[in-house]
Structure 1
Amino acid sequence: MTKASVESRFRVEGMDCASCAAKIDTAVRRLDGVDDVSVSVTAGTMTVRHKDDASFAQAIEKRVSGLGYKVAPISPRPGMTAAPKQHAACCGAHQREISVPQEPKHPQGEPASGVPSAEGLHGHDHDSTSAPWWRSGKARLTIASGLALAAAYGVGMLVPGMGSWIFTAAMLVGLVPIARRAVMAALAGTPFSIEMLMTIAAVGAVIIDASEEAAAVVVLFLIGELLEGVAAGRARASIQALTALVPKTALLETGGRTKEVAAETLAIGAVILVRPGDRIPADGVILSGDSSIDESPVTGESTPVRKTVDETVFAGTVNGEAALRVKVTATAEDNTIARVVKLVEEAQESKAPTQRFIDRFSRYYTPGVVVVAALVAVLPPLLTGAEWGEWVYKGLAILLIGCPCALVISTPAAIAASLSAGARRGLLLKGGAVLESIGKVTAVALDKTGTLTEGKPKVTDVVGFALSGGEVLTLAAALETGSSHPLAKAILAKAADDRIDVPPVQHAKAIGGKGVSGTIGGQEVFLSSPKAAGEQNALTPDQTSTIAALNDEGKTVSVLLVDGAIAGAIAMRDEPRVDAHAGLKALANAGVKTLMLTGDNRRTAAAIGRQLGIEVRAELLPEDKQRIVGELRSQGHFVGKVGDGINDAPALAAADVGIAMGGGTDVALETADAAVLHGRVSDIAGMVDLSKRTMSNIHQNIAIALGLKAIFLVTTVIGVTGLWPAILADTGATVLVTMNALRLLRA
């Protein structure tokens, strides 16, 4: 942005389809002083970069409102603030500020305190207000037009000679708003809009004395558009409904007391109390308490997850049976749910290759339809002496049949539904292009630590030599009490799982590079590496053999000594994720080749590889991972790379599709094209499946849109169908395409 430019954001109401966005984009771009325009159908917003002129925003509002939309500037207010340009939990950098309202959302996805709805009609005026659809301005106009048509039939029966005039008057009830917006769209740079086609067809029908059909066609058009608006509203509401999961109030701890405050006012570092059964009002870390958390509203996880001190909780999830004290780690506009909504809205603005092709095609298609309709209307009478009225009628019908609405919406409707469905499962994609590409993946390279494995060690074996396994674990846990070392945490977690009463330790101290020692019950206890233990007391051949076997399995072994004698050993390893094997099998079943790329040692990597049944490349530097991804691409594979660390960033960028695992570093999440927020390996196969079903849905939509038009084109030319079926072919196809796309919301 230059120094002379500013960026303004506007809320645009009545905009729910790609053609609406295209008209607004074209109109605003034609204003002198506009540098760039970005219109989000999903969010119902428009971002304009323009010259720094205080009055220029008014010119933008005037231009957009002239097209029949209600527009108002978005200004920061409580619960709506500018988001940072980068979010660690999102899968990429946001290139501009996004304002996300934290107000209660209604079924159509708009804030309760939003701008009043547009009352007019612009062809695709899908009102997005809190009121039920039947109370919208569009519905009122449709009802008025329908009543006018019914009245025309009644009066026409009483006064047959005035039928033509009466039906023309009834037609004008609905057509005048359409025609007004057709003219405004033409003046703003969109001459071949659906409003213009509808106006020409209706006026032409009156000229050839088909006013009854013209009035009926206008009513059918309005009904079809109203149905389309209701269907499109469902798609918008699907992702915006997530924001309703976050409670509006929170119990804030201050000065040893709790008080109820608005959740949107919580600051980072604040401490809140979450009672059993309450929804958690903010992202945070548990300070005290132990409870099961129902994360299904956010992650889709079917069973509650046990959470205790130092573990993360998400806004919108439900606390189980115990009270929790939670330290807030993200503000209301930057919590997990808000970031998901922002990401999906941003992603839906990114067009897939198929959508870009359809958009280019429609720019030539619509004028082509006008030309074909004109030729059908005039050539037969001129060349063969056919009746003018008959062929003009057919030309007008073709004009309505050729409306590109269903074709234009066929791709973005499916993309929007899939992105929303994916987000609800924690599958975040940076736009339609990524969604389309993931289904083409033929090879996936996965990191080990934190991707295929949990990223933290767990106790796998407790071996007793001089003592029992339980005694070994008890003494080791006592030594590690209070330590934050990953291996210490693994031992303490195992002791907690086994419900072991950990005795107190005295004189505990860490011995650099060797281990930790202390006095427990009068005994000197030392937990160390096998090498350090051997320096105090030689290991027997059997003990050495046991430890070597554990090492061969990729496990780290600590040896416990009691009063200088070898008492036992504890083996730990970063274990595979619970669903890792099933996730890899799902990829294999989809015909996708998998391999592990890791910087870990060969022995550990090979052990995990054998357990999961995956090809392994170990001891790799970041450039090695990038090189291997390049080799796979040179072999003809469409490569996906999955990772969560800084060392994965080069390979993520080099792959055709980079996927970051949840909990990964900012660099990995920013470099990747998509993110699996909840760390499930099976979600990678889920992304591939979602992409394939989306593309299948898009192909179905295109077939519906073009197929119906082709059928009615032929039947119109041969005289079987007329204006009524023509408008049904248009609006009916649009509704069918939208409803078919909405099936993806159940994914």
Structure 2
Amino acid sequence: MIPPLESRYRVSGMDCAGCAAKIDRAVRRIEGVTDVSVSPTAGTLVIRHDDVMDSAGVERTVKGLGYGLTPAPRLRTISEAPVDAPAACCAGHGSSEGGLSVQDGESEAKGTHDHHHGTPGGGLHGHDHGLEAGPWWRSRKGRLTIGAGAALLLAYGLGHVFPGAGSLFFLAALMVGLVPIALRALAAARAGTPFSIEMLMTIAAIGAVVIDAGEEAAAVVFLFLVGELLEGVAALRARRGIEALSALVPKTALLEVDGQTRSVPAETLLAGQTILVRPGDSLAADGEIVSGESQINEASMTGESVPVTKGIGAAVFAGTVNGEGTLRLRVTATASDNMIARIVRLVEEAQEAKAPTERFIDRFSRIYTPGVVLVALLTAVLPPLLMEGAWDAWIYKGLAILLIGCPCALVISVPAAIASALSAGARRGLLVKGGAVLETLAKVDLIAFDKTGTLTAGRPVVTDILSFGAPEAEILRLSAALETGSSHPLAAAILARAKEAGVTPPPVDGGTALGGKGVRGIVEGKALILASPKAIAAETPLSPEIESQIAALNESGKTVSILSVDGRLFGALAMRDDPRPDARAAVSALKARGIRTVMLTGDTARVATAVGADLGIEVKAELLPADKQRIVSALKAEGLTVAKVGDGINDAPALAAADIGIAMGGGADVALETADAALLQARIADVPALVDLSRRTMVNIRQNIAVALGLKAVFLVTTLIGVTGLWPAILADTGATVLVTMNALRLLRT
């Protein structure tokens, strides 16, 4: 079976979920379309379709609804290798891939070639439904709002000069704003959305004119346009929260060719090329340092404000800032595949995935809106028919209820909060793949951690140097000599400690490994052995005092190597993969939030128990990957909501079995792809931060729903008893929408 094709577009002017719903229903009616995903927060339209879909018809349909449409690049998966061609920018405008349906990397869609350069901002009769660039008053929506307001003021002025023609002036002012709204309403009705806010607004305005409330109708239309304008400004601010990351990457780079450097556009860089980064410059590409050493400020990528010292062989990322040293980098990813571009794409994908609460609100609004129309109709008709009420008064109340009932604020309450939370998290190095993940994280009862590389750094360090009569520096110098050239983790720990102490190891002759026990060699004419206590004891007996010291170190989870020189015990080195500096505080923070923690590790019980005691965490040790998966499944069977934190590779079965999988580790590709969330900074402290973000998001969502429904309930009652009318009704709708959006934007400050 041939998999469906996929086309992606950028849609300008989607300010709320109501806009997205209209586009969704309209595009689904096009022949060949199998599925549609519309994200107002990301401003994207994703269509899955077969090879008969009319792409030009998609453009006509969306622009007919009053929105701008431009092609967007396909979202490559993280693991795809960069192609050897200049890459388009992440935004995708002008990309050769834009708007193309991609299967196995090739264009398959029909008719895509004729709209790659369509203007964004088109729309019905020149109406642009959104705010995409420049100040709001220069946008078409801004100009329409200003025009409607000016016409209303002019009508008031002329009405005082020519009182007899006042109703005509207000009718003319009404038409300035109502005609574009009515045309959009008709287009939406033809596309399958008869109960749009534009249709409710049009009916209410026409009804007000019929009952001789033209002045109020003109004012209501103006207020509606003001509300839409404010929604657009707020939505654009939320959208730009994550897009601002792309602006961190400089536009140009210093490309080095044959020893000469020249400035080139950063988007033209190819993998394998070499670029020069001067002190204070932002890095123009992901790369590997081939010469130089400097401190790199990675705050833009991870939220960590303390610069990190990096040298030859270290990986660095686009958008981070070089410190005091000059660096030469080998480019490892093109512009469309660098870390920032991938983060932006992942957040956009997450925004396109609806959370359970959002899906419920969508289903509810499909029943709610027709129900409101029915209530408004009954309010306008039944009292005059059954209770001899005044037709004008009850029709007026019915029109007000029609405006109060618009579900915009309710529908946007969830996606606005989730989009803000996802953007805030990404800017701090917390990647969350969708609203459903945020909702589940807020309910987590237990978090299971891997040990090596998660609770610990994954790299042993020398923690103790025991002297049996020799100076510590000499023990370290001779031990480093034996380990020079070895890639074993314990050897790396000894060599790192020697470098840190400024010790230069002497050369070694005849270095030989002892089959998993240690290493021996001749250094400065002396026979040296660095091996485990058991291997050393076979040649040189250990005193009870030494055995006691080694036992104490072993009990604390440390590995001990003893140095023997010409058959005499010289000293010992103790090493351990220590917990991360923030691990204890993070575990305590989770417990304070009522979350149980457990360590699942394949390490020995002795080492795991020692680390667990340091951190105050429950321990299950000597586990295979299948054992970890079994334990996670058993915990879920107890009714617990379980999150698993690991490196995304050997913990893959447990990550998949958990309700939420959280990957650690500097943004590794596999971690970004396989887990539900990823901690780019690899800080354990970010786990409670992620829980806090999810809980704050759910509180924000509940606040938004309460505001949306509460305001409508209040104004519904006051309208029925005659206290409020059309003006407060439209303020209740647009005001609630703006309040909900602004409340959601508070999460951007997290």
TM-score past 0.5 threshold? yes
What residue in structure 2 maps to residue 125 of structure 1? 129
Question: Offset at 1:684?
Answer: 1.2
Q: 1:469, CA displacement in angstroms?
A: 1.2
Q: How many angstroms does 1:355 deviate by? A: 0.6
Give the residue type in structure 2 aligned to 1:349. E
Once residues 178 and 119 of structure 1 are traced to their aligned partners in structure 2, the CA distance between those partners, rounded to angstroms, is 12
Distance in 2 separating the partners of 1:179 and 1:407: 23
The match for 2:46 is: 47
Q: Which moved more, 1:572-581 or 1:636-645?
A: 636-645
1:336 alignment partner in structure 2 = 339
Task: Encode CA deviations 1:185-241: one digit per residue, 9 max, x unaligned.
Answer: 001000000000000000100010000001011111111110111011110000000
Amino acid at match of 2:60: K
Deviates more, 1:181-190 or 1:617-626: 617-626
CA contact (8 A) 1:240 1:341 kept: yes
> Which residue, 66, 70, 77 being the options, matches 1:85?
77
Q: 2: distance between equivalents of 1:530 and 1:114?
A: 75
Find the partner of 1:421 among 424, 428, 442.
424
Structure 1 stretch displaced more, 364-373 or 548-557: 548-557
State the Cα distance separating 1:260 from its structure 2 match.
2.7
| CA spacing shift, 1:645–1:374, aligned 2, 3 Å | closer
The aligned counterpart of 1:72 is 70
> Aligned in 2, Cα 1:279/1:114: closer, same or farther, shift over 3 Å?
farther
Matches within 5 A, 1:88-99: none
Query: Aligned partner of 1:64: which letter?
Result: V
d(CA) in 2 for partners of 1:215, 1:591? 55
Mapping for residues 348-747 of structure 1, pairs under 5 Å: 348-506=351-509, 508-663=511-666, 670-747=673-750
Please give the secondary structure, in 2, of the residue aligned with 1:572.
strand
In 2, the alpha carbon distance for the partners of 1:124 and 1:438 equals 38
1:93 match: none
How far apart, in 2, do the equivalents of 1:484 and 1:252 lie?
Answer: 34
Map 1:68-217; keep pairs closer than 5 Å: 68-74=66-72, 82-87=74-79, 100-101=90-91, 115-118=119-122, 125-129=129-133, 131-217=134-220
Write the distance in 2 (CA, Å) between the matches of 1:404 and 1:208.
Answer: 26
| CA shift for structure 1 position 552 | 1.7
- CA gap 1:102/1:14 in 2 versus in 1, 3 angstroms: closer
CA distance in 1, matches of 2:164, 2:470: 110
CA contact (8 A) 1:283 1:312 kept: yes
- 1:2 is matched with 2
1:312 to 307, 310, 315: 315
1:59 counterpart (37, 57, 60)? 57
The answer on whether the counterparts of 1:20 and 1:124 sit within 8 Å (CA) in structure 2 is: no
Q: Please state whether the residue corresponding to 1:10 is helix, strand or coil.
A: strand
Instruction: Determine the C-alpha separation between the residues in 2 that align with 1:666 and 1:51.
Output: 30
Distance 1:673 1:99, change over 3 A: farther
Question: Which amino acid in the other structure matches residue 209 of structure 1?
Answer: D
Contact 1:19 / 1:408 at 8 angstroms: preserved in 2? yes
Which residue, out of 272, 283, 292, partners 2:295? 292
Shift of 1:504: 4.4
Give the CA deviation at 1:120.
Answer: 5.8
In the alignment, the residues of structure 1 paired with residue 342 and residue 655 of structure 2 have an alpha-carbon distance, to the nearest angstrom, of 22
> Match of 2:98?
none
Contact map agreement 1:83 1:334 (CA 8 A) in 2: no
1:26 aligns to 2:29 (yes or no)? no
Q: What is the alpha-carbon distance in structure 2 between the residues aligned to residue 508 and residue 609 of structure 1?
A: 37
Corresponding residue for 1:36?
Answer: 35
Distance 1:190 1:11 in 2: 21
Question: What is the letter of the counterpart of residue 445 of structure 2?
Answer: T
TM, length-normalised to structure 2: 0.92
- The residue identity in structure 2 corresponding to 1:626 is Q
Q: CA deviation at 1:629?
A: 1.5
Q: Which string of whole-angstrom CA distances, capped at 9 and with x for unpartnered residues, describes residues 334-360 of structure 1?
A: 221111111110001111111111100
Report the CA distance between 1:659 and its aligned residue: 1.4
Change (3 A) 1:271 1:103: farther
Give the superposition deviation at 1:701.
Answer: 0.4
SS at match of 1:646: coil
Q: Per-residue CA shift, 1:365-384, capped at 9, x if unaligned?
A: 11011001111111111111
* Rounded Cα–Cα distance in structure 2 between residues aligned with 1:227 and 1:506: 77
Output the amino acid matched with 1:117: G
Q: Which amino acid aligns with 1:50?
A: H
Q: CA deviation at 1:432?
A: 0.5
Q: Contact (CA 8 Å) 1:121, 1:138: kept in 2 or not?
A: no
Gaps of 5+ in 1: 75-79, 90-96, 105-112
* Cα displacement (A) at 1:645: 4.7
- Which amino acid in the other structure matches residue 21 of structure 2? A
- Partner secondary structure for residue 330 of structure 2: strand
2:349 to 346, 349, 356: 346
Deviation at 1:83, TM superposition (A): 4.6
Deviates more, 1:16-25 or 1:607-616: 16-25
SS in 1 for 2:460: strand
Partner of 1:108: none
Does the C-alpha gap of structure 1 residues 417 and 645 become closer, same or farther in structure 2, counting only changes over 3 Å? closer
Number of aligned residues = 723
| Alpha carbons of structure 1 residues 184 and 133: separation in structure 2 relative to 1, 3 Å | same
Secondary structure, aligned partner of 1:641: strand
Give 1:8's aligned amino acid: S
Q: Which moved more, 1:532-541 or 1:218-227?
A: 532-541
What amino acid sits opposite 2:380 in the alignment?
A
SS of residue paired to 1:101 = coil
Structure 2 distance, partners of 1:641, 1:85, is 23
Counterpart AA for 2:76: P
1:665 deviation in Å? 7.1
**2:137/2:143 contact within 8 Å kept:** yes
Are the equivalent residues in 2 in contact too, given 1:122–1:195 (CA < 8 A)?
no
Which piece of structure 1 moves more, 368-377 or 682-691? 682-691
State how far apart, in whole Å, the 2-side matches of 1:446 and 1:300 are: 23
* Local SS of the residue matching 1:719: coil
Measure how far apart 1:607 and its partner are: 0.5
Q: CA deviation at 1:99?
A: 8.3
